[in-house]
Structure 1
Amino acid sequence: MTWEPLLRLLWAGNQETVDAPGGHLAGNIGHGGWSLPLPQRFPPPDQVLLVDEKVDEAVRRVLSALTDIGLDDISFVAEISPTGTTTLHLLTAGVAVDGGSGPYPGALVLIEGAVAEPWRRPPNPTPGAVPARSADPALLERTLRERIPDAIGATDAEIAAAEARLGIALPDELTALYRVTRARWQDWADDDAAARRVSDAVGLLPLSLDTLSIADASSRPCPWEFAAMEAVVTPPDAAVQGLVGSPGWIMFAADDYGDQYAVDLTPGPRGHRGQIITLSHELDIGAALIADSLTDLVVHRRESEHPDHEEDRSPVVAHVNRRSLTSVEAAAHPDLEVLSIGDWDSAPLSLAAVTGLPRLRTLAADHGTLADPLEIAELTGLEFLELAPEEWRILLDAGKVPRSLSAAAIKAHRPRHPLPIVAIANELLTLWERPPIVRRIVEGHLTPEV
C-alpha cells in the first residue's frame, strides 16, 4: 500500500493522540512541500536539522503515486484504532479552493476567476503628473555610454517591438537606458563581470529589453484570505499610489531578494511621472519611492527623501480586539472596507453599527465574538467572509449565507478534526455550484512500526 509506511511512522509518533477519543492524524503532501504531524526533534547546536530517512522515503513513495495520477498535492485524515484498523480519507481540492494550511482547506472561491477588491482597483488618473526636474534622458544616456562604452544598445526596431509587446510606450529615460544597453546575457557572453559592470553603472542590474514587464495586479498573486484583508489607501501627500499593481508600472529591474523596481507612469498626488519605485517581496500591496527620476538614480546616485507612509490604514481597515479598537462602534466609518474581530474575551459584539456601511466588503470574526451571527445577513455588500465552523453552521442552517460573497474562508485552528471543516466547505461550494473537495476513503489494517 502506498500510504502504509508513512501511516505506521505517524502512528508510532502520535500514539496518545490517535488513541484519544476523536483522535486522528492529518496532513498534506505535495510536490511543493509537505506538512505532517511529526514530533519535532532538535539536533545538537552544531548539527543541521535533518529529515528522518524513513519519513523521507515514505513521503517520496506518496509523491511518486501523486505523479502517476497527475496530482500536485493531496491532504489526508487517518483514523486508526488501537488494534490498527485504519480508515484513510484522501482529500483533493479542486479549482475552487485557494490554497490551505495542512489538511484544512484555504479560501473557497465562490465566483470563478474572482479576485479581492484591491486586485481589481485601477490607478487614479494623474493627468497633471509631469517628470521631475531632474529627469534628463540625454544626460542619462551620455553618462551611461561613458561608464559602459562597450555595451550593446537596442535598435529602434527592438525598442518598438518591446513597446508593442507591452502595449505601452517606454518613457524617454527608460528608452535612453536601453539605447545604451539592452541587458541581454548573450551580449555579455554569460560573463558575470560584464553584468556586474552594467549593474555598477546603473545602480541596479536591468532586466533585458526582451523581459520588461508590466507590474500590474496580476503580477502579485495573493491567496484570497490575505488579499481580502488588504485595502488600497493613497494619502493626499503620497508620491506613490497604494496599489497592488498598475498598468503604468514598468518593471525594469529585480534584485536577488525578489524585490522589483519599476518606472512609475501613474504616480500619486505628490509624485512625478517616470519616478522609480520598488515593490517589496515581503508585501502584497503598495510600493515605495526610491528616486524622483532614473537620471537621479543613475547619474546623481540620489535616492528620494520623500517620507514613507506608515502602514496605518484606518479607518478603511479596522481591527477590533483587546489591543486595538474595543468596539464595533469605534470601527464604524463610511470608508470602512475591512473589519476583523478577534482576540476578544469580553461580551460578544453586535454588528448593528456597521450595517448599511456602503464600502464594507470583508468581515473576519473569531468564534464567539459575535452576539448574533445572523446579523451578517444584513451586510449586503460583503464579498469575503471568514468565520469559525460554528458560525458558518448557524448561517447555513438558517439559509442566511450572504449571496454577495465572491469568496469565503473557514477559520479552523488545530486540533480540530478536518472532516467537519471539509463538509462545511462543500456545503458552501454547493450553494454556488462550484466543484467540491473530493473525498476518497481507503480502509485497511496497520501493524505498529518495529
Structure 2
Amino acid sequence: MQDEVDAVQRILSALADVGLDSITFVAEMSSTGRSVLHLLTFGPAVEAGIGPYPGSLILVEGAVPEPWRRRPHPVPRAAPAASVDAALLERTLRERIPDATGATEAEIAAAEAWLGVALPDELKALYRVTRGRWQDWGDDYAAAERVAQAVGCELFPLDELYVASALSRPCPWRFAATEAVVSPPDAAVQGLVGSPGWIVFGDNGGGDRIAVDLTPGPRGHVGQIIMLDHEQNIGASLLADSLTNLVVHQRGDRQSSYRVDQPTAVARVNIQSMTSIQAAAHPGLEVLSIGVWDGEPLSLAPVTGLPRLRTLTAYPGTLADPLEIAKLSGLEYLELGPEEWRVLLDAGAVPRTLSAAGIEVHGNRHPLPIVALANELLALWDRPPISQTILEGHVEV
C-alpha cells in the first residue's frame, strides 16, 4: 500500500503548507469520466462533524454551553474531614518510600503561584516526600511503581499539577449542550464540569484523573479526594474524605454523585425512554432530546414557557409543527433535521437566542445541500461560512 500512503502524505503536506490539519471533500464521478471534487473548509465557526457533514455551528464567537459556564456554589459550612492528618500522612509516605526525592518549599510555593490557588496541607505533605518527577527515579520503573503503590495512584509531578476547570474538559457543542449540572442537597461532590477548586494530582492508570476538591458539595469535606471519569463529560465521584484516608488507611471506595430520585434536568423522549413530552415537562427541565419515534409527530406545547429550557434536539420528522420552536424563548442550542430548519428559515423564525446550532442528517443525504443550509444559518449571525473550492477534471474509466 506504499503508493496509497505516499499519495495521502502528499495531501497532508499540502494541507500543512496552508495551515490545515484536515479537509472535508465530496467527489462526484460520472460514467463518462467527468469528475468534480468539492473541497470544504469548515473554518472557525463550525465544529468537526461525521463524514462530510458539518458539526455544530458556533453562532456566537467564543460561546460555550451553560454547564461549562457554571461555577461552584459556595458551601460556607464545609470543613476538612476529621481524618485529615498531614503529619501522619507525611510520616507514612516516608516509611513507604524512604529514598524518594521531595519538593522544596520554594518549589511548592512556585506551584501555588502558577496554579493561582493555595495547596492544602495534605497535598504539600505528599510533595515534600516525593515530587513525582521521572528524572528523580532515573528511568527506574520499579521506583515509579513503588511511589504509585505508596500514594494509591499514578502521581503527577509537582510542576504538572493543574486545575480541572471547565476549560480543561472540552466537549463538542452537540454533546455538551445536552448535559446538565445537578447537585442534590445531600451531594458530597458538586455535579460540575470543572471547578477552580479541583486540583488534579494523579491518575488511576486508566485515564481517570484524581483531584483534591476544595469546593465540595453540601455533604462533602474541603480537601476530599475525587475522581474525574474520562468517559464522562460532567461530574466527579468521591474516592475518600481526605488524602490521609486514601493513602494511609487506603480507604478509597468510589461513590457516585448521581441520583435517580430527583426530577431530571435532561429528558429523552423516544421509543425506548419517555413516551411523551408531557411526561418530560417540569420547571427544572433544561434539555429536551427527541429521538427515534414511531408515533404521530409531537407537539412542543407542553414545554412552552418552561423557564430553564435551553437545549432542544429533535430527530428529523418528529415535530408536528417546527414553528412552535419560536415560542421557546430561552434556547441556546437547537438541533433539527434539514426540513425543520428550512421551515424556520423560510418563516424568519430561527430563534435569535441561539449560541450554537446543529443539523441532524438521517440517511445518506447529499452533503452539499446540508453545507448550503449551514451557511444560511451562519449568515444570520454574520459568522464565517464554510468555504468551497471546486476542482473539475476527467478520469479515464
TM-score by length of 1: 0.85
| Contact 1:383 1:406 survives alignment (8 Å) | yes
- Alpha-carbon distance in structure 2 between the residues aligned to 1:234 and 1:447: 63
- Alpha-carbon distance in structure 2 between the residues aligned to 1:87 and 1:267: 58
- Alpha-carbon distance in structure 2 between the residues aligned to 1:318 and 1:415: 28
1:211-230 aligned at under 5 Å gives the runs: 211-230=160-179
**1:197 equivalent in alignment to 2:176:** no
**1:408 equivalent in alignment to 2:357:** yes
**1:129 equivalent in alignment to 2:78:** yes
The one-character-per-residue Cα deviations of 1:407-434 (angstroms, maximum 9, x if unpaired) are 0000013410000000010011111011
| Contact 1:126 1:268 survives alignment (8 Å) | yes
Q: Following TM superposition, by how much is the alpha carbon of 1:392 offset from its aligned partner in structure 2, in angstroms?
A: 0.4
Partner of 1:88: 37
- Alpha-carbon distance in structure 2 between the residues aligned to 1:203 and 1:363: 42
Partner of 1:232: 181
Q: Which amino acid aligns with 2:50?
A: S
- Alpha-carbon distance in structure 1 between the residues aligned to 2:162 and 2:219: 25
Partner of 1:116: 65
Q: Following TM superposition, by how much is the alpha carbon of 1:68 offset from its aligned partner in structure 2, in angstroms?
A: 2.6
**1:295 equivalent in alignment to 2:252:** no
Q: Which amino acid aligns with 1:268?
A: G
Give the direction of change, closer, same or farther, for the CA distance of 1:307–1:89 in structure 2 (3 Å limit): closer
- Alpha-carbon distance in structure 2 between the residues aligned to 1:425 and 1:417: 13
| Contact 2:286 2:311 survives alignment (8 Å) | yes
Q: Which amino acid aligns with 2:265?
A: V
The one-character-per-residue Cα deviations of 1:354-404 (angstroms, maximum 9, x if unpaired) are 111110000000111111101101111000000000000110111100000
Q: Equivalent pairs: percent with the same residue?
A: 69
Give the direction of change, closer, same or farther, for the CA distance of 1:228–1:311 in structure 2 (3 Å limit): farther
- Alpha-carbon distance in structure 2 between the residues aligned to 1:284 and 1:309: 13
- Alpha-carbon distance in structure 2 between the residues aligned to 1:387 and 1:175: 51
- Alpha-carbon distance in structure 1 between the residues aligned to 2:319 and 2:169: 33
Give the direction of change, closer, same or farther, for the CA distance of 1:345–1:360 in structure 2 (3 Å limit): same
Aligned length: 397
Give the direction of change, closer, same or farther, for the CA distance of 1:59–1:414 in structure 2 (3 Å limit): farther
Q: Following TM superposition, by how much is the alpha carbon of 1:55 offset from its aligned partner in structure 2, in angstroms?
A: 4.2
| Contact 1:153 1:179 survives alignment (8 Å) | yes
- Alpha-carbon distance in structure 1 between the residues aligned to 2:113 and 2:257: 34
Any idea what SS the aligned residue of 2:155 has? coil
Partner of 1:183: 132
**Aligned match for 1:385, one of 334, 344, 350:** 334
| Contact 2:60 2:356 survives alignment (8 Å) | yes
Give unmatched runs, 5+ long, in structure 2: none
**1:156 equivalent in alignment to 2:96:** no
| Contact 1:321 1:342 survives alignment (8 Å) | yes
Partner of 2:316: 367
**Aligned match for 2:199, one of 250, 259, 263:** 250
Give the direction of change, closer, same or farther, for the CA distance of 1:408–1:344 in structure 2 (3 Å limit): same
Which runs of 4 or more aligned residues in structure 1 lie more than 3 Å from their structure 2 counterparts after TM superposition? 52-58, 304-308, 310-314
| RMSD, aligned CA | 1.5
| Contact 1:84 1:447 survives alignment (8 Å) | yes
Any idea what SS the aligned residue of 1:79 has? strand
Give unmatched runs, 5+ long, in structure 1: 1-51
Give the direction of change, closer, same or farther, for the CA distance of 1:75–1:433 in structure 2 (3 Å limit): same
Q: Which amino acid aligns with 1:315?
A: T
Q: Which amino acid aligns with 1:299?
A: V
| Contact 1:116 1:224 survives alignment (8 Å) | yes
The one-character-per-residue Cα deviations of 1:133-173 (angstroms, maximum 9, x if unpaired) are 11111100010111111112112111111111111110111
